Chains A and B, each alone.
Chain A
Amino acid sequence: MNKFKLSILTGALLSSSAVFAQVTAITNATVHTLTKQGVLENATVLIENGKITAVNPKSFNADVTVNAQGKVLTPGLIGTMNQLGLVEVGAVSRSVDAYDKSGIEFDPSSAFNPRSSLIPYARKGGLTQNLSIPSLPWGESGVFMGLGFVADLSGEFGSVTDSQSALIVDLGAVSGDGSRAASLQAFAKKLSEQKKKLTSKKDKKDDKDPSAEEKLLTQVLKGDLPVVASASRASQLLELIKLKEQFGLNLIIDGAQDAVLVKDELAKAKVPVIISSVANLPTGFDALHAHLGNAGTLEKAGVNVILNIAGDGSHNVYQMRFNAGIAVANGMTHEGALKAMTVNVADAFGIEGGKIAKGERADVVLWTADPFEFSTRVDKIWINGEQVTTESRHDKLTERYTTDSSMPRGYTK
């Protein structure tokens, strides 16, 4: 009962803040708009009711004015391809909700925990939104993972903004008995069967409702539901481009360690590519061209690059901005790297935000300096127009063990 009351209360509070919307003005900021406006110096950004309402207005009235004093304002970063909100401790199975065998229709969004300790920590890295995806238990492989979803990282209940943001399929190297050819065929078969059903539907008398899987495949075939396919071998990426063209997929490729070999084809086919900028080892025979320069090379070729964190991206996603810096040190443009964590992600997945422009979602981060540098901190962060804290339990632990007290540490709170 109590929990129920609490959520009603939170809901009431949320709507009240919307009713009494206040205007926040961030002034004197170096604003990376990530639009044609480029970088604006000493600029003002107005936020109201969860939206950016003006950039550099001639005049304004604000309830709250934050003088940025020349600090750097960017759109909030968007994490991808991790299990944020679906995992607390990797090795504690009952704290992990990312796995299921249900296949294409597996939608983990209802298990998203906005109170996960990983979320305030992710905000420390300037993240305001995230695309969480289902995964498989360690050592298992399969083609159809299920659906990725988008949530804001406000920590509020109800922060899932889109429960069906992408279908996740793994078409990469398979260990054990599988061939990647079979994975690709399994996916193509699902698509052609559904396509056939759609075209021949009228002939059939039994008008039974399509299954959840069929509905999703229909969305995929219409290009409404993006498909993220994990794959790295260059020849396989070409096969995926063919599949995109054959079925009209809204295709995004993840992993893509050898994408540089087919960069022009990827650019031409307008396939966004999600990569880890620090992947530079031949982790397998599909990754012999993994290189620190790949992000820059793909950018230059005109590929829509999205940066993410390899490995345990859920706990380590705060490091994304540093990986962007490493990409820049190895040939990516600074603006390109920033876009690869904001507007490129938003565009690929149809997420609101990623830019600082009138009418955009008010997810913005004020950085003390260059967002990619180790010496830089998140000074302030707004999600959906509300300022949120970056303090996490890690800070509390540090505080406890650096505070002098005559009492045992357990009493320092």
Chain B
Amino acid sequence: MNMFKPSVIVLALSTALLGCQQDTGPQKDKVTIEKNPYPSTYKPHSTSSTLITNATVLTGTGERIDDADVYIVDGKISQVGKDLAVSADTTVNAAGKWVTPGIIDNHSHLGAYPNPGVESHQDGNEMIHPNTAQVWVEHSVWPQDPGFNRAREGGITSLQILPGSANLFGGRAVTLKNVPSETMQGMKFPEAPYGLKMACGENPKRVYGGQGVAPKTRMGNMAGYREAWIEATEYKRAWEQYDKEYAAGMNPDAPHRDIKLDTLRGVLDGEILIHNHCYKAEEMAMMIDLSKEFGYHAGTFHHGIEAYKIADLLGENGNCAALWPDWWGFKMEAYDMSLENVAIVDAAKNSCAVIHSDSDTTIQRLNHEAAKVMYSANEVGFDIKEEHAIKWITYNAAKSLGIEDLTGSIASGKQADVVIWDQSPFSVYSKAEKVFIDGAKVYDRNDSKYQAVSDFMLGQR
């Protein structure tokens, strides 16, 4: 049973239909695919205005402004600069403190692999087939994961939740605003595009090869991707043909709906961004070629331990690389670690270096992760300043998620996702003091009123 008609047959049939002038009666209802069936219900929590004064501001776009003010109105950054002559509902004197855009983690499993990490909570890897592009990780997210609160205390204002890496195609990723909510939809970043998780290398071949099912090897991985994209290409053509014929006044039958191929088609249409777990230089290069073979963009490579070996290639092709500063050695593809990986990738022309966590622990300290890279790189001759390094966990992360026009920097008109740090966030002793999402204070280290507690932790004393 083929789930859709191969395009050649569709074409032939439609030509035949045209020729015979059959089925020209009143058109049946047009079949359309609802692309957003689980829409965001997130609403910014505040419309009051806030003025943060006298801070060291890192804009997230490479600029540092000392003794600067940030003016927030209606959830948006209104002005940034020295001695702003404005009045606000709330003024925060941030003398001696630092202000950055909200930190964005583009690789998290919070909610899908929540704490407590018990058997009942293993909701991140649909390990039943190498291609599970039909699953959406948002349907696994438990908003009460205490990890969301811990991450917010570390300045995380947005984060992408990804399915795990057992499969060649793990499923759809979702980007969230890090606000307390009873529902996933209440956290869902309204305008963020969907992501598709893909995985290279050891994980898929180990999971399926161990079961005697393809892929068993790296070449099997590639064959699996190619077969899927061929199928997706045919599916896309079938729907386009249907839309075209319908628009021409004919009465064609809609192709069979397939939610797995909906996701892959979304990538081919440029609506869904690829997020590819891929460690090794040669594999990333092949994934770029794969994307060219099928006409989509290879997106962001995650965990690219060897990204530094192909920094130029990543820049030329416009790929972001989401990296750890120092994880290594847990498997062969993680062996060739360089402490300067992020910095080397970053130094290439048209680069997009991102620091990610993939961890419920380090997500709380991505500023520290950026500091590790900055200082070790400067030790070997780079000259990276704080105002540049902050990009790795703000603007570049937003770019990787397709939300850089909305958040990720402190600039007029941007969503007011902002962190006030008690000192330079590049010190090991630094802590986020206040966190704002869309201008609303969502965390205050000195005010328990703004310290959310997960339902799970209530009464557990």
Binds B, one of A35-43, A313-321, A355-363: A313-321
A398 & B344 in contact (Cβ 8 Å cutoff): yes
A91 & B368 in contact (Cβ 8 Å cutoff): no
Specify the chain B residue showing the minimal Cβ separation from A91: B331
The smallest beta-carbon distance between B116 and chain A, in angstroms, is 5
Please tell me if A285 contacts chain B, counting CB pairs below 8 Å: yes
User: With a CB–CB cut-off of 8 A, which chain B residues contact A328?
Assistant: 428-429
Please tell me if B326 contacts chain A, counting CB pairs below 8 Å: yes
Q: How far is the CA of A237 from the CA of B381 in the complex (A)?
A: 49
B427 & A374 in contact (Cβ 8 Å cutoff): yes
Q: How far is the CA of A402 from the CA of B347 in the complex (A)?
A: 10
B338 & A315 in contact (Cβ 8 Å cutoff): no
User: With a CB–CB cut-off of 8 A, which chain A residues contact B372?
Assistant: 322, 374
User: With a CB–CB cut-off of 8 A, which chain A residues contact B331?
Assistant: 89-92
Return the contact of A401 from the options B335, B338, B375 (Cβ within 8 A): B338
Q: How far is the CA of A312 from the CA of B147 in the complex (A)?
A: 20
Interface band, chain A: 35 or more
Please tell me if B212 contacts chain A, counting CB pairs below 8 Å: no
User: With a CB–CB cut-off of 8 A, which chain B residues contact A310?
Assistant: 361
A377 & B379 in contact (Cβ 8 Å cutoff): yes
* Residues of A that sit less than 8 Å from B by CB: 87-92, 118, 175, 278-285, 287-288, 310-312, 314-316, 318-319, 322, 325-326, 328-329, 372-375, 377, 394-395, 397-399, 401-402, 409
Return the contact of A398 from the options B202, B339, B431 (Cβ within 8 A): B339
User: With a CB–CB cut-off of 8 A, which chain B residues contact A281?
Assistant: 115, 146-147, 150, 360-361
Specify the chain A residue showing the minimal Cβ separation from B116: A284
Count of chain B residues with a beta carbon within 8 Å of a chain A beta carbon = 49
B116 & A372 in contact (Cβ 8 Å cutoff): no
* Residues of B that sit less than 8 Å from A by CB: 115-119, 146-147, 150, 202, 308-309, 311, 326-332, 334-340, 344, 360-361, 364-365, 368, 371-372, 374-375, 379-381, 426-431, 456-457, 460-461
A90 & B330 in contact (Cβ 8 Å cutoff): yes
Query: When A89-B329, A329-B431 are in contact, do A394 and B337 touch as well, CB less than 8 Å?
Result: yes
A398 & B460 in contact (Cβ 8 Å cutoff): no
Q: How far is the CA of A281 from the CA of B426 in the complex (A)?
A: 23
The smallest beta-carbon distance between B172 and chain A, in angstroms, is 26
Q: How far is the CA of A175 from the CA of B120 in the complex (A)?
A: 13
B309 & A89 in contact (Cβ 8 Å cutoff): no
User: With a CB–CB cut-off of 8 A, which chain A residues contact B308?
Assistant: 397-398, 401
B309 & A315 in contact (Cβ 8 Å cutoff): no
Q: How far is the CA of A402 from the CA of B378 in the complex (A)?
A: 13
User: With a CB–CB cut-off of 8 A, which chain B residues contact A288?
Assistant: 457, 460-461
3 smallest A-B Cβ distances: which pairs? Answer: A325-B428, A91-B331, A315-B329
**Highest count of chain A CB atoms <10 Å: which of B337, B344, B379, B430:** B337
Return the contact of B344 from the options A283, A322, A401 (Cβ within 8 A): A401
The smallest beta-carbon distance between A195 and chain B, in angstroms, is 37
B150 & A280 in contact (Cβ 8 Å cutoff): yes
The smallest beta-carbon distance between B363 and chain A, in angstroms, is 10
User: With a CB–CB cut-off of 8 A, which chain B residues contact A89?
Assistant: 329-332, 334-335
Q: How far is the CA of A374 from the CA of B376 in the complex (A)?
A: 8
B330 & A315 in contact (Cβ 8 Å cutoff): yes
B428 & A282 in contact (Cβ 8 Å cutoff): no
B429 & A315 in contact (Cβ 8 Å cutoff): no
User: With a CB–CB cut-off of 8 A, which chain B residues contact A409?
Assistant: 309
Q: List 28 A-B contacts (CB under 8 A).
A: A89-B331, A89-B334, A90-B329, A278-B364, A279-B361, A280-B361, A281-B147, A283-B116, A283-B117, A284-B116, A284-B117, A288-B460, A310-B361, A312-B329, A316-B326, A322-B428, A325-B429, A326-B365, A372-B428, A373-B429, A374-B371, A374-B428, A375-B426, A394-B338, A394-B339, A395-B380, A397-B338, A398-B340
The smallest beta-carbon distance between A294 and chain B, in angstroms, is 14
User: With a CB–CB cut-off of 8 A, which chain A residues contact B460?
Assistant: 282, 288
Return the contact of B332 from the options A92, A280, A284, A399 (Cβ within 8 A): A92
Return the contact of A373 from the options B147, B344, B427 (Cβ within 8 A): B427
Return the contact of A91 from the options B202, B336, B379 (Cβ within 8 A): B202
Q: How far is the CA of A281 from the CA of B148 in the complex (A)?
A: 10
User: With a CB–CB cut-off of 8 A, which chain A residues contact B117?
Assistant: 283-284
Specify the chain B residue showing the minimal Cβ separation from A284: B116
Specify the chain B residue showing the minimal Cβ separation from A374: B371
Q: How far is the CA of A328 from the CA of B115 in the complex (A)?
A: 25
The smallest beta-carbon distance between A331 and chain B, in angstroms, is 12
Specify the chain A residue showing the minimal Cβ separation from B362: A278
The smallest beta-carbon distance between B263 and chain A, in angstroms, is 29
Q: How far is the CA of A89 from the CA of B305 in the complex (A)?
A: 14
Q: How far is the CA of A281 from the CA of B339 in the complex (A)?
A: 27
Q: How far is the CA of A409 from the CA of B282 in the complex (A)?
A: 14
User: With a CB–CB cut-off of 8 A, which chain B residues contact A88?
Assistant: 329
Specify the chain B residue showing the minimal Cβ separation from A175: B119
Return the contact of B375 from the options A118, A285, A315, A374 (Cβ within 8 A): A374
Specify the chain B residue showing the minimal Cβ separation from A290: B115
User: With a CB–CB cut-off of 8 A, which chain A residues contact B340?
Assistant: 398, 402
Specify the chain B residue showing the minimal Cβ separation from A323: B428
Specify the chain B residue showing the minimal Cβ separation from A329: B429
B380 & A398 in contact (Cβ 8 Å cutoff): yes
**Highest count of chain A CB atoms <10 Å: which of B116, B147, B430:** B116
Specify the chain B residue showing the minimal Cβ separation from A325: B428
A319 & B375 in contact (Cβ 8 Å cutoff): no
Q: How far is the CA of A312 from the CA of B338 in the complex (A)?
A: 17
A91 & B150 in contact (Cβ 8 Å cutoff): no
User: With a CB–CB cut-off of 8 A, which chain B residues contact A316?
Assistant: 326-327
The smallest beta-carbon distance between A412 and chain B, in angstroms, is 12
The smallest beta-carbon distance between B30 and chain A, in angstroms, is 49
The smallest beta-carbon distance between A30 and chain B, in angstroms, is 18
Specify the chain B residue showing the minimal Cβ separation from A322: B428
Return the contact of B329 from the options A314, A319, A322, A329 (Cβ within 8 A): A314
B116 & A312 in contact (Cβ 8 Å cutoff): no
B326 & A319 in contact (Cβ 8 Å cutoff): yes
Q: How far is the CA of A165 from the CA of B368 in the complex (A)?
A: 34
User: With a CB–CB cut-off of 8 A, which chain B residues contact A372?
Assistant: 428-429
B115 & A326 in contact (Cβ 8 Å cutoff): no
User: With a CB–CB cut-off of 8 A, which chain B residues contact A90?
Assistant: 329-331
The smallest beta-carbon distance between B421 and chain A, in angstroms, is 12
User: With a CB–CB cut-off of 8 A, which chain B residues contact A312?
Assistant: 327, 329-330
The smallest beta-carbon distance between A121 and chain B, in angstroms, is 8
User: With a CB–CB cut-off of 8 A, which chain A residues contact B375?
Assistant: 374-375, 377
Return the contact of A282 from the options B116, B327, B335 (Cβ within 8 A): B116
Query: When A377-B379, A402-B380 are in contact, do A284 and B428 touch as well, CB less than 8 Å?
Result: no
Specify the chain A residue showing the minimal Cβ separation from B331: A91
